[in-house]
Structure 1
Amino acid sequence: MNRTYWASGTAVLLALAFAVAATVAAASGSEGAGAPARAPGLYSPDAGFARDMAVHHQQAVEMSFIVRDRTRDEPVRGLAYDIANTQANQRGMLLGWLDLWGLPKVVADEQPMSWMGSTGHDGHSGHDMGGATTKPGALMPGMATKEELAQLGAAEGRDAEVLYLQLMTDHHKGGVAMARGCATQCGTPAERALAQGMVEAQESELTLMADMLKQRGAAPRG
C-alpha cells in the first residue's frame, strides 16, 4: 500500500511541477519562455491539442469520480482522486489558453486528432498512436464508450476497481500518444512543457496501474 501511494504521489508531483512551470512560462509573455508572439491558428497543433485533450481529460475525471463511489479500496480511491485533481487542473489550463488565444473550444468541422497529421480512412489521425486505438463508439484513442461508462457505474468492489484500472490504462495510453504529439508539434513552449509533463506523469501511472491490476489478479486489456 505504501508503494502504491508513493508511486501515485510521484506521478501527481510530476504533473503539478510541469503544470506550474507551464503556467509561469505562459504568464511571462516572452516568446522564448512562454506564449509565442503570435497566437496559434484555429487548426494548429496547439489549438487542436488543447481542444482534444480537454475532452479526453474530462472523461478521465468522470471515470475517477464514478469509481470513488463504487469501492472502499483506499489505494484505488486515492489514485482516482489524484487523477481527477490533476487532469481537471490541466484541463482548465488548456481551456484557458484557448480563451487567451481568442479561439473556440469546439470547432464543428474539425475531426478529432486531425492536428496530429494526415487523417486515415477512419477519420482519425495517421500519426503513430503507440498502439492506442479508437474503439467503435468512442471519440478518440483510449476513450471509453458510453456502454463502458455505464458498466463501470454499475460495478462494485473489486469488479469496479479492475474495470476502472483497465479503462484508465487504455485512456492513459491514448493520452500519452496525444501528449507526445504536442510535445513535438506544438509551437507554444508552455504547452509543449505541459504535454511533456503529461507524458511522464501518465507513464508513471501506467506502471502503477499495471501493478495494482496484478495485485487484484487481473491485467490490462489488449
Structure 2
Amino acid sequence: MWHTGRIKVAAIASSAFALLVIGAALRPLVLPEHHTATPILTSAEVGFAQDMTAHHQQALILVQRLDRSADPTVLRLAQQLADAQRIEIGTLLGWLRLANETPLSPHPMAWMHTEEPAPHHHSVAAPDHPQAPPDATMPGLATMSELDALATARGRDAAILFLQLMFRHHQGGLTMSQAADRLLPSGPVKESARSMFQSQSQETGVISVLLTQLGAQPRP
C-alpha cells in the first residue's frame, strides 16, 4: 500500500510538471505579447547624424586636396581638423548603425524642418530653431569647381584657398550644430552637437587668424 501510494504521488507530480511545461510553451499562442520597441534615435537625431556625416566627409576631401607644399602651419591645422572630423564621423556612424539607419539621408536637411521631440525625453523641442525646407542645400559646402581649384592650387594660393573654403565649411557646420542643439531637448546627440559647435567655433577663430597672417579674408 505504502509503495503504491508513493507511485501515485510521483505520477501526480510528474503530470503537474508536464502541464506547467505545456502551459509555458502555449503561453505565447494563448496570450500573445506585443512589444513596442522604443526608437533609439528620433527622425531629427537621425537626420542630423546623416547630414553631419556627409558634411564632415567634405572636410576630409578639402584636406586631401591641399597641396603638401603649402604653409607648414596650415598643413598641421589641416591634419588636426581631419583627425577631429574622422573621430566625429565614427561616432555619428556608430549611432546610425545602432538605430539601423543608412549613413546618407534620402532627404538632406529635412530634419531642420521638423519639431518632433524624442519620445524618451521629457521636455519639448526648443522654439525658434532654424527652419529649412526638405532637400535644402547643406550650408558651407564647397562646389565642385572650388574643389578642383583647390586640387590645382600650389603654395600660398593653396593655403589661402583651403583656409577660405574650410572657414566657410565650418560656418555651415556651426549652423547645423546650433540648429540641432536648439531642436533636440536632450540626449547624447544634442550633447555632441553642442560639442561640435564649441570646437568648430574655436577652429574658425584659428582659421581667421591664419588668413589675416597670409593677407587674405574669408570668402562671403
**What is the TM-score normalised by the length of structure 2?**
0.70
Larger C-alpha radius of gyration, 1 or 2? Answer: 2
Partner of 2:83: 85
Question: For 1:197, what is the secondary structure of its paired residue?
Answer: helix
Contact 2:47–2:109 (8 Å) recurs in 1: yes
Q: What is the deviation of 1:107? A: 4.0
Q: What is the deviation of 1:188? A: 5.7
Moved over 4 A (4+): none
Partner of 2:63: 64
In structure 2, what is the Cα distance between the partners aligned to 1:93 and 1:140? 20
Structure 1 residue runs without a partner (length 5+) = 1-36, 119-125
Contact 1:46–1:187 (8 Å) recurs in 2: no
Which amino acid in 1 is paired with 2:61? Answer: E
Contact 2:174–2:197 (8 Å) recurs in 1: yes
In structure 1, what is the Cα distance between the partners aligned to 2:176 and 2:80? 20
Q: How many residues in Structure 1 have an aligned counterpart in Structure 2? A: 167
Which amino acid in 2 is paired with 1:103? Answer: E
Question: What pairs up with 1:20-99 in 2 under 5 angstroms?
Answer: 38-41=39-42, 44-67=43-66, 69-99=67-97
Counterpart selection for 1:186 from 165, 184, 187? 184
Contact 1:166–1:221 (8 Å) recurs in 2: yes
Q: What is the deviation of 1:38? A: 3.5
**What is the TM-score normalised by the length of structure 1?**
0.70
Counterpart selection for 1:154 from 152, 155, 170? 152
In structure 1, what is the Cα distance between the partners aligned to 2:72 and 2:157? 15
Which amino acid in 2 is paired with 1:162? Answer: I
Contact 1:51–1:105 (8 Å) recurs in 2: yes
Within the alignment, does 1:113 sit opposite 2:109 as a pair?
A: yes
Q: What is the deviation of 1:221? A: 1.2
Could you list the per-position Cα deviations for residues 104-152 of structure 1 after superposition, in whole angstroms to 9, with x for gaps in the alignment? 22343x1x2111116xxxxxxx9648xxx9xxxx951100011100000
Query: 1:151/1:70 Cα in 2 relative to 1: closer, same or farther (>3 Å)?
Result: farther
Partner of 2:201: 203
Structure of greater relative contact order (alpha carbons < 8 Å, 6+ residues apart) = 1
In structure 2, what is the Cα distance between the partners aligned to 1:151 and 1:88? 24
- The sequence identity of aligned pairs, in percent, is 39
Partner of 1:13: none
In structure 1, what is the Cα distance between the partners aligned to 2:166 and 2:57? 12
Structure 2 residue runs without a partner (length 5+) = 1-37, 115-127
Could you list the per-position Cα deviations for residues 8-40 of structure 1 after superposition, in whole angstroms to 9, with x for gaps in the alignment? xxxxxxxxxxxxxxxxxxxxxxxxxxxxx6312
Question: For 1:177, what is the secondary structure of its paired residue?
Answer: helix
Query: 1:107/1:216 Cα in 2 relative to 1: closer, same or farther (>3 Å)?
Result: closer
Contact 2:129–2:182 (8 Å) recurs in 1: no
Contact 1:70–1:153 (8 Å) recurs in 2: no
| Cα RMSD after superposing both structures | 2.2
